[in-house]
Amino acid sequence: MVLMVGRRKARLATMMMNLRSDVEPRTEIPPVLITGLSGAGLSSAARVLEDMGWFVTQNIPPQLIVHLAEMIADPTSPVDKVAVVTDVRSREFVGSLEQIIAELSERGMKPLVMFMDARDDVLIKRFDNLRRTHPLQGSGTLMVGIEREREMLSGVRESADVIIDTSDLSVHDLRRVIEPNFSSIANKRQHVTVQSFGFKHGSPRDTDVMIDVRFLPNPFWVPELRPFRGVDKPVADYVLSQDAAEPFLEHFMEMFDDMRPGFEHEGKKFITISIGCTGGHHRSVAIAEEIGRRLRERGDLDVNVQHRDISRN
């Protein structure tokens, strides 16, 4: 459920008051903080988690976030998965949010921060379509409001565990991005998303590792392969049979193994690997699928493969 302050506040307060302080904390499904740019899809992300059985709250005072975290840590609580949508509209709130993240981390309840982002042109179009003003634009333009919010949230974005750029995502696409990562969040394994994309559609901003595979021959120029995509066997066989493919894949897997301890040291639970080619149809798709397969064989990772531009012209 998405809980709005003023509607079910009494229920939430009662749940908190009934918690016992003499019990051992239960396992860890960390509280999730959903934040990000206005118009980037915070409410849509909240609805996805709600449909997955999360207790989702919205627009609550920052101080209550700590109480919610304590609630899900209590074995007697009926709620074990909580997400909080933080609609940041003031510098004071940003400061409070950063302080709360630090406080929860010190208590061993480090929240998972999901930051929703989108390109400026997309945000402008969304606000125009809804005929809404930006909460921070004041007497200025819509772009002024977006720039102010980006500046205010830059520190939060930098430290976020998950960054989702919704510029090119439909609501259904967003669900496909969130569900695989959060369905098994209770385990301590790292979550790896391998996404293919086409450079002609723009580089993804929500990535940790970006690889350009345009050094491989392009199946687009093979007439009998052009209608297919990298998920189809003829194209996959063609791409993976190239002389440079196997050495590259071996080197990449070795590189990723070298990087993993660093990600773990930084507490990074979610890792995004982006594989790019020209259009995002053939080479990047085939390589992303193969990297995903090899990562799954590791046995200690949750792996999700997605193809951002496979259906785009």
> What digits encode the pLDDT tens for the residues 181-193?
787 676 667 899 9
For residue 209, which phi and psi values (nearest 5 degrees)? Answer: -135, 130
* Spatial separation of the C-alpha atoms in residues 196 and 308, rounded to whole Å: 6
How many CA atoms does the CB half-sphere of 80 hold within 13 Å?
Answer: 10
pLDDT exceeds cutoff 80 at 27: no
Give the pLDDT mean for 156-160.
88
For residue 228, pLDDT beyond 70? yes
What does the pLDDT read at residue 205? 85
Query: What is the pLDDT at residue 186?
Result: 60
Residue 132 assigned ligand-binding role:
no
Residue 87 marked in a binding site: yes
Domains identified in the chain and CATH numbers: 2-182 (3.40.50.300), 190-307 (no CATH)
Do residues 78 and 16 make contact, with C-beta atoms less than 8 angstroms apart? no
Looking up tokens 């949750």, which residue turns up? Answer: 302
90 is in an annotated binding site: yes
User: Which strand ranges, in their side-by-side order, compose the sheet holding 162-165?
Assistant: 2-4, 55-58, 82-85, 32-36, 112-117, 162-165
Q: pLDDT tier at 102 (50, 70, 90 boundaries)?
A: confident
Q: Which of 68-72, 143-147, 221-225, 269-273 has the lowest mean pLDDT?
A: 68-72
Residue 312, marked binder: no
What is the rounded average pLDDT for all residues in the chain? 85
Query: What's the pLDDT score for residue 166?
Result: 94
Please state the φ and ψ torsions of residue 241, each to the nearest 5 degrees: -90, -5
Indicate the pairing of strand 301-307 with strand 190-198.
parallel
- What average pLDDT score do residues 141-159 get? 90
Rounded distance between C-alpha atoms, residue 56 and residue 32, angstroms: 9
Which of 79-93, 112-126, 238-252 is modeled with the greatest confidence? 238-252
Mean predicted confidence (pLDDT) in 288-300: 95
pLDDT at residue 132, as a whole number: 86
The larger pLDDT score, comparing residue 34 to residue 100, is at 34
Q: What is the 3-state secondary structure (H, E, C) of the chain?
A: CEEECCCCHHHHHHHHHCCCCCCCCCCCCCCEEEEECCCCCHHHHHHHHHHCCCEEEECCCCHHHHHHHHHHHCCCCCCCCEEEECCCCCHHHHHHHHHHHHHHHHCCCCCEEEEEECCHHHHHHHHHHHCCCCCCCCCCCHHHHHHHHHHHHHHHHHHCCEEEECCCCCHHHHHHHHHHHHCCCCCCCEEEEEEEEEHHHCCCCCCCEEEECCCCCCHHHCCCCCCCCCCCHHHHHHHHCCCCHHHHHHHHHHHHHHHHHHHHHCCCCEEEEEEEECCCCCHHHHHHHHHHHHHHHHCCEEEEEEECCCCCC
69: confidence class by pLDDT, cuts 50, 70, 90: confident
Helix 142-159 and helix 91-106, axial crossing angle in degrees, nearest 10: 10
Predicted model pTM: 0.71
Better-predicted residue by pLDDT, 290 or 168? 290
pLDDT at 209 over 70: yes
| Over residues 13-29, mean pLDDT | 46
